[in-house]
Amino acid sequence: MANFLESIFAQLQRADERVVLREIHGETFTTITGRELLAQVQRGRSYVRKFGLVAGDRCALLGANSIQWVAVDLALMAEGVIVVPLYSRQAAAELAGMMKDCSPSLLIVGDAELGAVIEREWPERPHRVLMEEVLRAAPTREPVTEAPNTRTDGDLVTIIYTSGTSGEPKGVCLNVGNVAHMLRCISKRLNQLMDASIQAGGSGEPDKAFHYLPFNFAGSWILLLSCLSRESVLTLSTDLNQLADEIRLSAPNYFLNVPTLLERVRRGVLDSISKRAAPIRVLFNNAKASWESQCSGTRPGALDAVWLALGRRLIFVKVRERFGGNVRALICGSAPLAVDTQHFFMMLGIPVLQAYGLTESTAICTMDNPQIPIEPGYVGQAITGIDMKVAENEEIVVRGPNIFPGYWNRPEETAKVLRDGWFHTGDQGEENPTGNWRIIGRIKNLIILNSGHNVAPEPIEEKIGLLVRGAQQVVVVGNGRGYLCAVITGDVTPAAAQGAIDTVNAELPHYRQIRKFTILASPFTAQDGLLTAMGKLRRDAIDRRYSAEIATMYSGKSA
């Protein structure tokens, strides 16, 4: 059986003069065909050989998403070099720390400034070269279609550093077998979405996919490889400030998202509607209420069907046009998506397929099947070939060919999470009778009150965040304390915060209720070290940064 790289090269050969990748710049596209991409890959392989990299060497790859990034990545993998992808917007000190950990023989950067930043932080860094220089290597006499070097399932392909919500990032090693299994599973799901009969025959229109998440994240990289191994054209975002226009112009069938973006789109639509003329507002609100009634199982009112039909014809279709008119589904991962947001997109006629996984599981453990009804709030069923179960403390444990062999040079850390053949995810979850999984929270995030009660903060944070207009983040605190408090960021009024907390508290037992809160005008960001690159809360850092504000909520009379 061909390994995944051989399959990608074969697909690119079949593509020949067909465009397989595009970069979008404003309203224009920079494109590359299958043949042209293979030619770039071959030039990259020539540079790798000339430099002297051999199978098993590490090479750090630092740059924004681009066609060049893809060509260099494929060239390195084809030569058996272990790729260490790095996030171009991460702090220089953190990038230097990752490279010191894995000792790359070469650093390939997307632009000179990125390289200069690393050099200032780490003067002893390895030899540095620009991606464009790698791809300008003189062509060899070897054919453009030269096959990738032979690899076994156990050979390492990449070391992807975790984002590090607490503690320093660890290098997750993924091998050929991990990636090959995941690509088969993802291709199956995409076939289900796009119609297996078209893909099986290799005919019809290619998939149109859009991509804005950095390739140094496992899920993002796996989707890239999935598109390259299929009959697809993948459009790469080049300006996150123009994301809405890029999506509309790309007109994708699907693309990968994080919940933050979908929440932002939802808020944007609601804010836009609130500023429209009264008839539009009334129609939208009535159609939305009818949809929510339908979702809750409430007996429909006499006019519900009429309002919903009018809303779909006059408003919802126009919102869908913002996605270019071809969208079949949005794929969402990295964190659970709020149920209300998932319902909102379903109301618009855009299914949101949730996926769950970690870097250590080659990005995916579960994913919604687009051919069966989606259950909002759940992240789908376990993918083919893996086992999942709930262990002690409701922790999800997983085993299968997608599970990583270990962390780079960290045997003790590896032993903590790989036990008796099972990978301990650190996530709490539950499986329902239909086989769908729901993520409850992170074990390490559990708040243990001095009463002995254990509280998962994530569900409370999600509910408050949905109810408070203008809220950017909500963080529940109280570990070792007598009661819970909340830190809320954004343009939020105390009255709005209190109203939302009162609503949420009414549904909770006394020990899970929020007693006090504080508002911070400035939201947390990755740049200030309070969020990971994927937008997850760095709770320990937040506790340290705002220790005084948190202490104030616990001073004085007990709540």
pLDDT digits (tens, 9 = 90+) for 156-215: 999 999 865 555 789 999 999 999 999 999 999 999 999 844 444 444 689 999 999 999
pLDDT digits (tens, 9 = 90+) for 261-296: 888 888 889 889 999 999 999 999 999 999 988 887
Q: Which residues, other chains included, contact 90 with Cβ-Cβ below 8 Å and sequence gap of 6+?
A: 526, 533
pLDDT tens per residue across span 405-463? 999 999 999 999 999 999 999 999 999 999 999 998 888 888 888 877 878 898 899 89
Distance from CA of residue 559 to its chain's centroid? Answer: 39
- For residue 94, is pLDDT > 90? no
Q: What share of the chain is helix, strand, coil (3-state, %, to 5)?
A: 40, 20, 35
Q: How confident is the model at residue 558 (pLDDT cuts 50, 70, 90)?
A: very low
Q: How far apart are the C-alpha atoms of 388 and 395, rounded to whole Å? A: 10
Which pLDDT value is given to residue 62?
96
Domain with CATH 3.30.300.30 in the chain: 446-553
CA 292/CA 311 separation, integer angstroms: 13
Tens of pLDDT, residue by residue over 476-490, are 999 888 899 999 999
Section 55-67 average pLDDT: 96
* pLDDT of 104 higher than 60: yes
Average pLDDT of every residue of the chain: 90
* Short-list 44, 55, 73, 47, CA closest to 156: 55
pTM listed for this prediction: 0.85
SS3 158: strand
Task: Say what the pLDDT of residue 165 is.
Answer: 52
DSSP characters over 471-513: EEEEEEE-TTSSSEEEEEEES--HHHHHHHHHHHHTTS-GGGS
Task: Provide the pLDDT for residue 138.
Answer: 67
Given CATH 2.40.50.140, say whether it is the number of domain 446-553.
Answer: no
17-21, 26-30, 524-528, 545-549 — which is least confidently predicted? Answer: 524-528
- Least confident interval from 148-162, 195-209, 367-381, 395-409: 195-209
The CATH architecture to which 4-253 belongs is 3-Layer(aba) Sandwich (3.40)
Please tell me the predicted confidence (pLDDT) of residue 259. Answer: 85
Dist. CA 19–CA 34, nearest whole Å: 6
CATH 3.40.50.12780-classified regions of the chain: 4-253, 259-325+329-443
pLDDT band, residue 143 (cuts 50/70/90): low
Q: What is the pLDDT of residues 221-239, one digit of tens each?
A: 999 999 999 999 999 999 9
Which tens digit of pLDDT belongs to each residue from 324-340? 989 999 999 887 788 88
pLDDT winner (highest mean) among 11-15, 334-338, 509-513: 11-15
Q: Which residue, among 237, 51, 64, has the nearest Cα to 127 in the 3D structure?
A: 51
Contacts of 492 (CB under 8 A, 6+ apart): 468, 469, 470, 471, 519
Question: Tell me, what's the pLDDT at 559?
Answer: 47
Structure tokens at 172: 């997750």
Confidence of residue 140 (pLDDT cuts 50, 70, 90): low
Confidence (pLDDT) at 200: 43
Assess whether pLDDT exceeds 90 at residue 546. Answer: yes
Distance of CA 529 to the CA centre of its chain: 19
| Whether pLDDT at 510 is above 70 | yes
Q: Which amino acid type is present at position 124?
A: E
Alpha carbon 393 to its chain centroid, in Å, reads: 26
**Which CATH entry fits the domain spanning 259-325+329-443: 1.10.3720.10, 3.40.50.12780, 3.40.1380.20, 1.10.10.10?**
3.40.50.12780
Interval 239-264: pLDDT, tens: 989 999 999 999 999 999 988 788 88
pLDDT in tens, 112-122: 998 899 999 99
Q: What is the pLDDT of residues 28-60, one digit of tens each?
A: 999 999 999 999 999 999 999 999 999 999 999
Residue 100 makes CB contacts below 8 A (sequence gap 6+) with: 122
Does residue 203 or residue 80 have the better pLDDT? Answer: 80
Task: Work out the number of other CB atoms within 10 angstroms of the CB of residue 92.
Answer: 15
pLDDT recorded at residue 201: 45
Does residue 142 surpass a pLDDT of 60? no
**pLDDT tens digits along 297-307:** 777 777 888 99
In this prediction, residue 489 carries a pLDDT of 96
